[in-house]
Amino acid sequence: MTARTAIAMGCSAGGLAALQRVLPALDRRLAVPVVICCHTGSADVSLLVEILARVSALPVVEAAERAPADPGVVHVAPSGYHLLVEPNAHFSLSVDARVTYARPSIDVLFETAADAWQGGLVAVLMTGANSDGATGLKAVRHAGGYAIVQDPASAESDVMPRAGLDIAGADACLSLDHIAQRLNELCIP
């Protein structure tokens, strides 16, 4: 099986704790871009970036408009803007209307990442108290990407993973510890 080429992750309520569990377990040889959309509600995402950088084996940065999605780097969506992946795998931002009450929206990230990376994409939908990301996950699977949903029973808030499973289904439904393990298996050839 050929290795996947990019990872997109989405989470909301409980997301910070979940990311602090998953990121440290990602292999430092993971040579694909990791893009995260986490609803923080805060006006400034730099604190989230700092917290994640402290635990992650891979460098963590705020995703910058026009910048390429660099392999081996974790990119976090800025607050207040949708984060989109352009067909050339560079980032763009938008202040278009909120999607499922959220900006940044996981749906927007997943749908554009699916367009950009097609079957190379692995999308991960984790804990959250709304349904953002479910439609995006469907687009990911439709494009041939691999969809992982956090096992709702293990999620701090199970609404988001349940919505993902209901609307898109998944290729794997895993606990946080197993999510990192699966990402390593899928992306390291």
Using CB under 8 A as the binding rule, the residues of this chain from 68 to 97 that contact other proteins are 78, 80-82, 84-87, 92-97
Using the rule CB under 8 A, which residue among 17, 24, 51, 115 binds other proteins? 115
Quick one: three-class SS letters along 42-108? Answer: CCCCHHHHHHHHHHCCCCEEECCCCCECCCCCEEECCCCCEEEECCCCEEEEECCCCECCECCCHHH
The verdict on whether 142 is a catalytic residue reads no
Written as one letter, the residue type at 182 is R
Contact present, 94 and 84 (Cβ < 8 Å): yes
Distance CA 106, CA 111 (A): 8
Using CB under 8 A as the binding rule, the residues of this chain from 126 to 185 that contact other proteins are none
Written as one letter, the residue type at 19 is L
Written as one letter, the residue type at 57 is A
User: Among residues 107 and 158, whose Cβ is nearest to other proteins?
Assistant: 107
Using the rule CB under 8 A, which residue among 64, 144, 177, 185 binds other proteins? 64
The verdict on whether 39 is a catalytic residue reads yes
User: Among residues 15 and 78, whose Cβ is nearest to other proteins?
Assistant: 78
CA dihedral of 150, 154, 156, 157, whole degrees rounded to 10: 60
The verdict on whether 132 is a catalytic residue reads yes
Q: How far is the CB of 133 from other proteins (least distance, A)?
A: 16
Q: How far is the CB of 36 from other proteins (least distance, A)?
A: 16
> Binders of other proteins: how many residues, by CB under 8 A?
23
Using the rule CB under 8 A, which residue among 26, 69, 108, 121 binds other proteins? 108
- Among candidate residues 75, 105, 131, 132, the one labeled active-site is 132
Q: Say whether residue 114 binds other proteins (CB under 8 A).
A: no
CB-based burial, 69-86: b 16+ in 10 Å, e otherwise: beeebbbbbbbebbbbbe
**Binding positions for other proteins, rule: CB under 8 A:** 64-67, 78, 80-82, 84-87, 92-97, 108, 111-112, 115-116
Instruction: Tell me which residues are annotated as active site.
Output: 12, 39, 132
